[in-house]
């Protein structure tokens, strides 16, 4: 797939959930994501993409999942089983190391950290759409974790909202190879505008 | 999985895209969906579910995809490749047989037909959320086409918006067995509250 | 107030509810709006603004209120008293003269007619935001009816969604002078980016 | 106007912006709101309403405006003049007394504090709609500050989203009597389901 043109004025990188619990050794979900992440070289690719995006002076938006508190769902009528599981494990627990950004992905001056999302989509119930509009963004590039959950939900929402959506197949990971396959070969093509490798994206940013 | 309790006052069936182009012999997408649909008995299960839902006096909402017009995307900055493909084929063309409801799924008095959606989610850019609230609905059961596109996008949006979401694994179909598998075994469990067979659902509605 | 710069690529006119029932002699709401409309010269200003907008080649979006059907709210849990009143009068009745566009404001090729809205905001439960994004629009100019209902609700929503919002104080009307005053002197300044006269707007478009 | 029936299971109080900057002597906006607030007895009515709501065991949701940071709008393309004015004054400044809850309106165990809103509506770009749905809420009662800005925007959004909306004419305030009049006599009746006095509301809650 040939890469789109990414204008500095209208393109943003959405960096989804770069938490220690996902990306760092010892993180609560790291062991589950590591086989796929190692196979595609996720961490190195994320570093290279973020670096290229900063060099090209594109805006970066941090898109963070809700940081767990013990009683988050005590009064909810119907949290999903998946939310309850994450709550029991206190994934991305507030004020914990696991809920901090991985050391390689600390926000820099000028980055925007949007509100935390409760489900899978970074747009749902947050200020992401507003922040993107107020920065003139029309195209979003999604990287981070996980390919078939938060990345896919955020990408689908973005497309529904009218954004041009780019997925990066090796700057993300999942809990199984078939989940990666589903994200990029089965579902991605039904909503995304471009599905690139990190190398293809970086070349386009430098072009 | 044991079925939830579906109260008549708070539960609705969302019938997604029951168009001739999907469900009828000769429909533009029927040949692609038919192998999976025949394998799981989609059409018979859809009939049985709709019948059981009507017997249980649950509200039915039709959730229709946009009916194609030739110049839909002429002025859009970035329709997705998938939208462009559907547009070239004029899938669900307005005022055509393919864009009519399958004969077994004609709206009845009291059913609500919501606005057409442009992408995959029946909630995005439509009045579905408003109509559900104005009918007191808190739980939605999704059936129709396709499992990994409109059903999944509508289900994910519904969960983000705070609804209790039930998928029905054999009252839908997809273009490949692996797309069905992705919808119900990989992605469904990350957002849905229940994933049932038609038989399990019907039993719960009669219970 | 000095007018903003309106770039052709990023600015749209939102033409709200230019129905016969509002703007034409004999329309169901025309008598209530006419004293204010005549006082500020609404109809002539609307014509001048639309003409200037077309000359400047800005995109026009029609933003239509729901066209009434007799049983619209029969099954709703809580339509508002205002909606019920409009329903009793069958304002903008579907397939009626009152629900047609005023003869001076017929859509032209290339105009976008978005989905009908149920309440006051043209953004709520419609595809307006999506359509604006897919046309690259970042600034909206609101004209039409009424200043303190659909114009104000659409303008407030637009600002919340991240658009730059311009009101035009004499290209709209209301049912009383104090409602016009509230729209432009009390509430408008709390959310709008510019509040201009038609003459100021036209000068800016020609500038 | 006769009061609606407020069921404990489906009704919530939305307490909008009960900040020191609005409600306490010395708050940055207190002097501007105080003449109207004193005239209608806002503070005493707010206390009485919150007390009656707690006694009736209705759920309370805090709906907070964004707490100002010095560089909030540095990179925004078009903050509104009103937002810029509030930013210059650093109204509800983060980590300041002015951005703390008034002493009489401290959250209690079980109250929900939703995400901060950037504009006027507590629904826009926040998790308010999700939180209401997850608590089964269908009717909202709005009190707090100001009648014609955040209360009105939140109420209008709530109605668009399908909620039953009650305004309380003397449990709010504004910067001028005519702004109060516009909120309750001109605009309120175009979207709200009930507009009550605090006494009428309290009687209904006890009924």
CB atoms within 10 A of CB C158: 26
The stretches of A41-111 forming alpha helices (DSSP H) are 42-55, 81-88
Judge contact between A89 and A121, C-beta under 8 A: no
pLDDT-derived band at A2, boundaries 50, 70, 90: low
Q: Which residues of chain C are under the pLDDT cut of 50? A: none
Q: Which of the residues D63, D156, D179 would you substitute to probe the C interface, choosing the one with the greatest number of C C-beta atoms within 10 Å?
A: D156
Which of helix, strand or coil describes residue A95? coil
Q: Per residue in D121-164, pLDDT tens?
A: 999 999 999 999 999 999 999 999 999 999 999 999 999 999 99
* Closest partner CB to A127 (pick from D78, D125, D136): D125
pLDDT-derived band at D35, boundaries 50, 70, 90: very high
Q: Per residue in A169-192, pLDDT tens?
A: 999 999 999 999 999 999 999 999
Confidence check: pLDDT of D93 > 90? yes
pLDDT-derived band at D16, boundaries 50, 70, 90: very high
Q: Per residue in B99-147, pLDDT tens?
A: 999 999 999 999 999 999 999 999 999 999 999 999 999 999 999 999 9
Query: Is the CB of residue B135 less than 8 Å away from at least one CB of chain D?
Result: no
Token pair, residue B67, equals: 């009916």
Instruction: Share the mean pLDDT of chain D.
Output: 97
Q: Enumerate the residues of chain A whose CB falls inside 8 A of the CB of residue B120.
A: 156, 160, 190-191
Q: Which of the residues D10, D12, D123, D133 would you substitute to probe the B interface, choosing the one with the greatest number of B C-beta atoms within 10 Å?
A: D133
Q: Enumerate the residues of chain B whose CB falls inside 8 A of the CB of residue D160.
A: 130
Nearest chain A alpha carbon to D112: A75
- The minimum CA-CA distance between A74 and chain D, rounded to whole Å, is 9
What pLDDT score was predicted for residue C3? 80
Instruction: Please give the average per-residue pLDDT across B168-172, as a whole number.
Output: 98
Judge contact between A116 and A86, C-beta under 8 A: no
Asked if D127 and A129 come within 8 Å (Cβ–Cβ), the reply is: no
* Spatial CA neighbour of C126 closest among B131, B162, A152: B131
- The minimum CA-CA distance between C26 and chain B, rounded to whole Å, is 31
b/e map of A99-135 (b: 16 or more CB within 10 Å)? bbbbeebeeeeeebebbbbbbbbbbbbbbbbbbbbbb
Query: Is the CB of residue B206 less than 8 Å away from at least one CB of chain C?
Result: no
CB atoms within 10 A of CB C26: 10
Q: Enumerate the residues of chain A whose CB falls inside 8 A of the CB of residue D70.
A: none
Q: Enumerate the residues of chain D whose CB falls inside 8 A of the CB of residue C182.
A: 148, 178, 182, 186-187
* Spatial CA neighbour of D133 closest among D123, D125, D145: D123
- The minimum CA-CA distance between A134 and chain C, rounded to whole Å, is 6
Confidence check: pLDDT of A1 > 60? no
Task: Report the CATH number of the D11-206 domain.
Answer: 3.40.50.850
Token pair, residue D51, equals: 């007390």
pLDDT-derived band at B66, boundaries 50, 70, 90: very high
Q: Per residue in A59-70, pLDDT tens?
A: 999 999 999 999
Report the percent of chain D where pLDDT is more than 70. Answer: 99
What pLDDT score was predicted for residue B134? 98
What pLDDT score was predicted for residue A178? 97
pLDDT-derived band at D86, boundaries 50, 70, 90: very high
Confidence check: pLDDT of B1 > 90? no
* Spatial CA neighbour of C38 closest among C145, C173, C178: C173
Q: Enumerate the residues of chain D whose CB falls inside 8 A of the CB of residue C81.
A: 189, 193
pLDDT-derived band at D3, boundaries 50, 70, 90: confident
Omega before A103 cis (within 30°)?
A: no
* Closest partner CB to C133 (pick from A131, A134, A163): A163
Q: Per residue in A117-164, pLDDT tens?
A: 999 999 999 999 999 999 999 999 999 999 999 999 999 999 999 999
3-state SS of chain B? Answer: CCCCCCCCCCEEEEEECCEHHHHCCCCCCHHHHHHHHHHHCHHHHHHHHHHHHHHCCCEEEEECECCECCCCCCCCCCCCHHHHHHHHCCCCECCCHHHCECHHHCCCCCCEECCCECCCCCCCCCCHHHHHHHCCCCEEEEEEECHHHHHHHHHHHHHHHCCEEEEEEEEEECCCHHHHHHHHHHHHHHCCCEEECHHHHHHHHHC
CA atoms within 13 A of residue A44's CA, in its CB half-sphere: 6
Q: Per residue in A12-53, pLDDT tens?
A: 999 999 999 999 999 999 999 999 999 999 999 999 999 999
What pLDDT score was predicted for residue D130? 98
* Closest partner CB to B153 (pick from A80, A81, A156): A156
Query: Is the CB of residue C178 less than 8 Å away from at least one CB of chain A?
Result: no
Q: Per residue in B194-205, pLDDT tens?
A: 999 999 999 999
Q: Enumerate the residues of chain B whose CB falls inside 8 A of the CB of residue D134.
A: 162
Instruction: Share the mean pLDDT of chain C.
Output: 97
Asked if C82 and D189 come within 8 Å (Cβ–Cβ), the reply is: yes
Q: Per residue in B91-109, pLDDT tens?
A: 999 999 999 999 999 999 9
What pLDDT score was predicted for residue C207? 80
The structural domains of chain D, with segments of one domain joined by +, span: 11-206
Q: Per residue in C38-68, pLDDT tens?
A: 999 999 999 999 999 999 999 999 999 999 9
Q: Enumerate the residues of chain D whose CB falls inside 8 A of the CB of residue C181.
A: 178
Confidence check: pLDDT of D1 > 60? no
Confidence check: pLDDT of D207 > 90? no
| This prediction's pTM | 0.97
Q: Enumerate the residues of chain C whose CB falls inside 8 A of the CB of residue D161.
A: 124
The ipTM (two decimal places) reads: 0.96
- The minimum CA-CA distance between D13 and chain C, rounded to whole Å, is 18
pLDDT-derived band at B2, boundaries 50, 70, 90: low
């Amino acid at each position: 797939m040939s890469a789109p043109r990414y204008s500095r004025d209208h393109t943003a990188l959405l960096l989804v959930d770069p938490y220690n619990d996902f990306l760092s050794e010892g993180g609560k979900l790291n062991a589950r994501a590591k086989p796929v992440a190692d196979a595609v070289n996720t961490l190195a690719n994320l570093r290279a993409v973020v670096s290229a995006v900063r060099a090209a002076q594109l805006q970066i938006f941090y898109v963070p999942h809700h940081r767990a508190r013990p009683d988050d769902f005590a009064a909810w009528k119907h949290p999903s089983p998946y939310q309850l599981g994450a709550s029991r494990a206190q994934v991305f627990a507030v004020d914990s190391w696991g809920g901090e950004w991985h050391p390689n992905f600390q926000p820099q001056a000028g980055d925007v950290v949007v509100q935390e999302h409760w489900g899978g989509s970074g747009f749902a119930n947050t200020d992401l759409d507003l922040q993107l509009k107020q920065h003139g963004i029309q195209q979003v590039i999604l990287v981070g974790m996980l390919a078939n959950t938060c990345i896919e939900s955020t990408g689908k929402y973005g497309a529904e909202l009218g954004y041009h959506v780019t997925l990066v197949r090796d700057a993300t990971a999942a809990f199984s190879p078939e989940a990666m396959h589903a994200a990029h070969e089965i579902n991605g093509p039904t909503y995304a505008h471009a599905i690139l490798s990190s190398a293809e994206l970086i070349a386009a940013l430098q072009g």
